[in-house]
Chain A
Amino acid sequence: MSVRSGNGPLLAKLVTLAAAMFMFAIFVLPPLYDLFCEITGIGGKTEGAYTAVAVEVDTSREIEVQFVATKNATMPWDFYPMEERVIVHPGESREVAFYAQNRTGQDMVGQAIPNVLPNNAADYFHKTECFCFNNQPLLAGETAELALVFIVDPDLPASVNTVTLSYTMFDITDRTKVQISQVQ
């Protein structure tokens, strides 16, 4: 029989394995998941601010962009797109706006989380300006028109004729208590 390592070294190896798996779960899996979604576009997550580059507007194609606004479960605001759909040519820069009103008697902070469908369009939907890049503080009763400037990339896959951009508005007042006092 081959030489057996003692209990001590074996114990050390197995504890290391367990600790490594714990680290793997917390520090590797979440970033790996984000990376996977980013590469494949599966999560429908859009990229951050886009710096416009000069491209020729492809007037031969018309893309319908639909806007959906959802409020997360506990969010009491009014929140909807000013235009429900627009037709754009790829490469063309377009500005649209969303309407938000804080009807409550309290100052609140919202955060909009974007999502693009179909999945393979997420990489080709660029936002040069978006209210979703920052959180949205609204005082009690305040209204706001939230601006979005976007460009649909001319490389958008030919199979895609309609892109749906959805925003979910979350109430993040609790987690931004410090910031709200700075706003006032």
Chain B
Amino acid sequence: MAHGPATLADGWGKYLSRWLFTTNHKDIGTLYLWFSFAMFIMGGAFAMVIRAELFQPGMQLIKPEFFNQMTTMHGLVMVFGAIMPAFVGLANWMIPMMIGAPDMALPRMNNLSFWILPFAFAILTSTLFMEGGGPNFGWTFYAPLSTTYAPDTVNYFIFGVHIMGASSIMGSINIIATVMNMRAPGMTYMKMPMFVWTWVITAFLLVAVMPVLAGAVTMMLMDINFGTSFFDAAGGGDPVLFQHIFWFFGHPEVYIIILPAFGVVSHIIPTFSRKPLFGYSSMVYATAAIAFLSFVVWAHHMFTVGMPIAGELYFMYATMLIAVPTGVKVFNWITTMYRGSLTFETPMLFSIAFVILFTFGGFTGMMLSIAAADMQYHDTYFVVAHFHYVMVAGAVFSGTAAVYYWLPKWCGKMYDETMGKVQFWIAFIGFNITFMPQHFLGLAGMPRRYADYGLQFADWNMVSSIGAFMYGGAQILFLFNVIRTIGWGEPTKDPKVWEGAEGLEWTLPTPAPYHTFAKPPKIK
């Protein structure tokens, strides 16, 4: 217990094997976070290619076939490579420190669940350099586009999805085991911090639906290679079945992405409002309600597939019902801020922007949930704008806020506040310039996933592309700020870092020692 981790001073071999064989939750959390940032940059580069091509009507830079690969890979890499591992990384770092545990419950499995991820994405990305190109059927990979008409490299894609699914399932099992078995004495369920609560619910969602995704790609694999006809009408199957199975996974998946983000914001807003979180227990119940509802609304992604009216109405009302627990959360955050002593450090700015923009994305979600109106909005840029408001301004803003909030705790050094604020404003303005016009484009009828568009869409597309380049630039500033902090940041020794911070993790010394809570703390 006394010895610390190997550093570069111990030689490259030792340093490398420290990271390869580590079972320390903080090391693995760090690995997850860096991996997710690398994927974020790669997925972002794909997005830049997309926006550069859409800067003007007509084909300028790339071929339509490559454009399709870019949209597909952007979605896959961002969802499975950037956002999900980022929150798993935060969970690894923070959950043991928040519940007073010395480490994760299953540390060796923790190592495995991280180290298979780079292979999954190496397999997936390598297809871009193969004959026939990478996956080009959209991140939702609807059959028969992803089976009968898919490039031969689809098998690599399928194995990549299998591996990342296995990684997610193992990560989730670990989180559930940690939270259930390793809480400090006195840490009852209803005393757990919100981030722990949202993550344990997310972990259950993951264990339940990632195998369904694995099942979907397995059926694709069998249809393509072994002559079955799950999704092939010629053999008595049904392509619509694919959509049902995919969205049975896919809708809980969007809450898997956003629930940990809710948890992060539920820590940051009380800290910088210097007030306890308003309505803690209602937050817990709302999270559980959202998770439950996420299993029974999947077909609102496929209103245009030809459902009977009773089905459309059921899925419409059930979807609208989700606005109730979500509204509870939003109002709780606002009430937490109400009459608080607010200060606006970078994490708080990102969190407030999260609340505003996520609510905005929620409202467009309500518009999309109206089955009759969805006939118009379906597969237009309105949908693209909607899910980027909840995914980017939701999950990514919250992840950025989390990094700024906890980075001083992790490395004992302060980030540059001015640079953080500059990054926030560039990101906030750039984000809105990118995605606000996409609402207008969608309402005017511009379909998504096309490499070209009619001349009437030219102006807003150019605006959107300019915003995208701005937003992309903000991420470079983010990377620079994080590296500068770790290397040359102003040291801080204050265990609390933030004046209003509450919770077990802030009782530890700063920077957080390699091993913490070897003896469980006493919870009042």
Contact = CB atoms under 8 A, between A and B. Distances in A.
B238 A17 contact: no
Interface in B487-513: none
Interface string B144-165: 0000000000000000000000
B211 A172 contact: no
A72 B239 CA distance: 13
Interface stretch (A1-9, A60-68, A148-156): A1-9
A21 B172 CA distance: 15
B371 interface: no
Contacts of A22: 211-212, 214-215, 218
Given A25-B212, A26-B215, A17 B207 contact: yes
Contacts of A19: 211
B177 A25 contact: no
Interface in A1-42: 1, 4-7, 10-11, 14-15, 17-26, 29-30, 33-34, 37, 40, 42
Contacts, number: 96
Contacts of B216: 25
Interface string B227-266: 1001001111110110011001000000000000000000
A92 B237 CA distance: 31
A168 interface: yes
A11 B172 CA distance: 11
A113 B233 contact: yes
Given A14-B176, A111-B234, A21 B209 contact: yes
B235 A29 contact: no
Nearest to B230: A30
Nearest to A74: B148
Contact of B215 (A17, A25, A175): A25
A46 B117 CA distance: 45
A76 interface: no
Interface residues of A, number: 36
A33 B244 contact: yes
Contacts of A40: 308
B181 A4 contact: yes
A29 B237 CA distance: 12
A170 interface: yes
B106 interface: yes
B78 to A, nearest CB: 24
A20 B241 CA distance: 19
A81 interface: no
Contacts of B241: 29-30, 33
B301 to A, nearest CB: 16
Contact of B208 (A4, A17, A168, A170): A17
Contact of B248 (A17, A29, A172): A29
Contact of A25 (B207, B211, B238, B308): B211
A7 B245 contact: no
Given A10-B181, A26-B215, A30-B237, 13 more contacts: A4-B181, A10-B180, A11-B173, A11-B177, A21-B211, A21-B212, A23-B215, A25-B219, A26-B219, A33-B244, A37-B238, A72-B234, A113-B236
19 contacts: A4-B180, A4-B181, A11-B106, A11-B177, A14-B172, A17-B208, A21-B208, A21-B211, A21-B215, A23-B215, A24-B211, A24-B215, A25-B214, A25-B216, A26-B215, A29-B245, A30-B237, A72-B233, A168-B233
Interface of B: 105-106, 169, 172-173, 176-177, 180-181, 185, 188, 207-212, 214-216, 218-219, 227, 230, 233-238, 240-241, 244-245, 248, 307-308, 311
Interface of A: 1, 4-7, 10-11, 14-15, 17-26, 29-30, 33-34, 37, 40, 42-43, 72, 111, 113, 119, 168, 170-172, 175
Q: Give 7 closest A-B pairs by Cβ, nearest first.
A: A25-B215, A170-B234, A22-B211, A21-B211, A25-B212, A14-B173, A26-B215
